[in-house]
A and B are shown apart, each in its own frame.
Chain A
Amino acid sequence: MFINPEVPLDSLPSADDLDWQPLHPRFVRRLQVGALVRVLVVGIIGSAAYFLMTSGDSAAMARFADRLLPFALTAFGLFAASVLLWPMIAVPRRGYVVREKDILHKSGVLWRSVKAVPFNRVQHTKLDSGLLDRRFGLANLSVFPAGAGGHRIRGLGTDTAEQLRVYVSERIEAEALDPADED
């Protein structure tokens, strides 16, 4: 069923064996700092809850809190360790490739995903950089095709991100001018 005489399928450019560009090396640290903030917030809320429960009048509540404590501490420890270590595992597995006609982004450790956005479907691009990102000299590039919410590549160096944005914008314009896109 899947035949196309004009273009033999084997000659189609494959999106499998690509030279993936890694993200900026500082991105791991940036994610870890973000995770640390989250761990601290959860820790503060948790200990506040514990002290509220034990300092209250109800003895039953205090006993329940004490019984809960080992479980809560284990869960918190696991959460903290995984959140702090995760970026070191996840970031090396992310990457992007810019081709002539599209941009690809891979991500995920267990659930791996490779997403391709053709330039002739991109409506506009966006560069953003939060407080933490800026401290680490990083920026995120988003490309927006029609309809969907857009696709974001996080953790690029500021210069790389700007170069990429300019390149993508040029490609979009080139695709728009290309007579192949007219009917």
Chain B
Amino acid sequence: MKPSEPADWRRISPFAVVFFVGKTTRNLVRGYVQLVATFGALAVLIRGTPYAALLIPLALLVIVAIAGLRFWSFRFRIEEDRIVIRQGILKRTSVDLPFHRIQGINVERNPVDRLLGLVTVSLDTAGSETTEGELPCVSRELAEELRRRIGFGDQGRSDERPGVAEGTVPGVPDIDRDRARRKGDRAPGRVLLRLSAGDMFRIGLGRDNILFAMMLIAAAWRRPRELPYRLAETFGFSEDLVRPALETAEATLARTDALGEGTFTGGIVLSALAAVVAVGVGTAFLRYFRFTLWREGTAYRSRGGLLTQNEVVVETAKVQQLTLSQDMLLRMLHRFRLRMHPAADADASEHHDVPRVLEVPLLEAPLAQEMRASVFGEEGEGPILLPKSDDFRTVSPLYIQALALRLAVVPAMAGAILLLPVTGLTKVWATFAGTWAAIWIVCGGLTALQRWRRQGYVYGNDGMAGRSGFVGRRVDAFLYRKAQSVALKRSPIERRNGLATLEVELASDTVTVPYIDQGVARRLRDYILYTVEASRRRWH
């Protein structure tokens, strides 16, 4: 590894031109969407002139030229305690990122990067100024060096959390660590989890959308009886063009007599199911293939992905919130999904296409507990993670009433009122409105009941957790001192019954605990504010 002192400006690899071509194109396309009317008018104008076709290669040339210039203007410098990134062609920007402000490092390797042994590093910062640092196409060694200098998993920081610095051996020189990595493609630190190919199937199957797809298919089960007829009918309209298709459809029709129909229906359902499962499993393979999670000093680090490999490093002290969730199928498999949220940028959704949250797609309860213990440290008895824990208190049953009101009565009434001008105050209206309302009240009531059963909260001296869900379950746990603001909300029902909703805003997300006793809510609010205002520890 090259020593980077004295610090001078460095360039990224020339292959970054490819990266910038992609980025420029994306920027342009986004611009197009906004100016679509203007460009549409332009296209109509140009249509008459044949030279218009020349614009396309010209545009490509311009994009490549811009990308080249962007690469040329891109320089960065790593200093003692900060990294400075300078870029821009017309408008020069210089981003100065002190290492201590960096919340997380994401390293991404798309297939081209992997061929060339390069990586793209994104540095996440907290706060609303959009000082996101991105280093495209740098060497892996540089990414490692950066990671080490920022101090992720560094022994120097471990004094913040005594007793959690096991994992790496302090005496091992960095060069050895790097060599070890290059040799076995394995990072140092204690490996906590490695997902196998079988796990990919579990992840792919364990998502709720699969469940909904199954329900949809089940709902369509009775339809296939008509399906061949419908198909034939549809094809019949367009005659010659689809004659072969029509013939196959008719041939199928002929075969689907009383006996064959069952097979036919089953075939359609099975293939639809297989397609849905294949998509789920395929996505899991793409995102999490060879997913590895390990602990390095005080940091967690994950890496996975089939084509584009993504690596996320999160320092435990900077974790704002832990989210443990379980969809229905994962529940049958006794597995969970865990997410560690660092502080988010104010407009994170716009600027990050890289996942910045460290997500463990599939893990068992003991590992989740271990990770909770190490993230929350000695403050951790309050925020419990496992949704089945008996410590969770239920919220007031009046929550069912409030939810049902919102979910059922409002749409039922809206439907009835909207129908009124169409039918007038007639018997037809009464029948329709009545049926409509009945459907909504039953569905909404059951949904509300189920959601109330899932809702829960637990609090301790230093942190709390909220549980919610409908089909699956989800627990959001955090420490009081990480709160950014606290709100107490009271609806008419809550006010009448001495209840309140507590909303704690974190730098990552907002955790809401609805319909709890107002005394408890007030005390929690005052206590959280006191903790935040008196805490001697950093929140990030």
Contact = CB atoms under 8 A, between A and B. Distances in A.
Interface of A: 1-4, 7, 9, 12-16, 67-68, 71, 101-102, 108, 110-118, 120-121, 123-124, 144-151, 180-183
Given A123-B128, A149-B346, A71 B421 contact: yes
A120 B531 CA distance: 11
B485 A145 contact: yes
Contact of B485 (A9, A110, A121, A183): A121
- Sorted from nearest, which 9 A-B pairs have the closest CB atoms? A147-B507, A145-B484, A115-B487, A146-B507, A101-B533, A117-B485, A113-B489, A12-B526, A147-B344
25 contacts: A2-B461, A3-B461, A4-B527, A13-B526, A15-B526, A15-B529, A71-B420, A102-B533, A111-B492, A112-B495, A113-B487, A113-B488, A113-B489, A114-B487, A114-B488, A115-B488, A145-B484, A145-B485, A146-B126, A146-B127, A146-B507, A146-B540, A147-B320, A180-B534, A181-B536
B484 A121 contact: yes
B350 to A, nearest CB: 12
Contacts of B128: 123-124, 144, 146, 150
Nearest to B520: A2
Nearest to B485: A117
B345 to A, nearest CB: 8
Given A4-B461, A9-B527, A112-B495, A146 B343 contact: yes
Given A1-B460, A111-B492, 6 more contacts: A4-B461, A9-B523, A113-B490, A118-B483, A146-B484, A148-B510
Contacts of B523: 2, 9, 12
Contact of A147 (B489, B490, B508, B536): B508
B303 interface: no
B491 A110 contact: yes
A51 to B, nearest CB: 18
Contacts of B487: 113-116
B486 interface: yes
B246 interface: no
A109 B537 CA distance: 38
B459 A2 contact: yes
Interface in B503-540: 505-510, 522-523, 525-527, 529-530, 532-534, 536-540
B540 A111 contact: no
B480 to A, nearest CB: 11
The B interface, classified by DSSP as helix, strand, loop or mixed, is mixed
Contacts of B510: 148
Nearest to A147: B507
Most chain B Cβ neighbours within 10 Å, of A2, A101, A144:
A2
Contacts, number: 129
B507 A145 contact: yes
A25 B469 CA distance: 44
B160 A150 contact: no
A147 B484 contact: yes
Interface of B: 126-129, 160, 320, 343-346, 420-421, 424, 459-461, 483-492, 495, 505-510, 522-523, 525-527, 529-530, 532-534, 536-540
B390 to A, nearest CB: 13
A151 B160 CA distance: 32
A135 to B, nearest CB: 29
B460 A2 contact: yes
Given A1-B459, A145-B505, A147-B344, A118 B126 contact: no
B494 to A, nearest CB: 9
Most chain B Cβ neighbours within 10 Å, of A14, A15, A148, A180:
A148
B421 to A, nearest CB: 5
A115 B525 CA distance: 10
Nearest to A124: B128
Nearest to B486: A116
B481 to A, nearest CB: 10
A116 B529 contact: yes
B532 A118 contact: yes
Contacts of A110: 491-492
A112 B532 CA distance: 24
Contacts of A71: 420-421
A72 B459 CA distance: 51
B127 A123 contact: yes
Contacts of B160: 183
Most chain A Cβ neighbours within 10 Å, of B128, B320, B420, B533:
B533
Contacts of B539: 121, 146
Given A12-B526, A110-B492, A147-B344, A117 B484 contact: yes
A148 B522 contact: no
Most chain B Cβ neighbours within 10 Å, of A101, A108, A118, A123:
A118
A115 B129 CA distance: 23
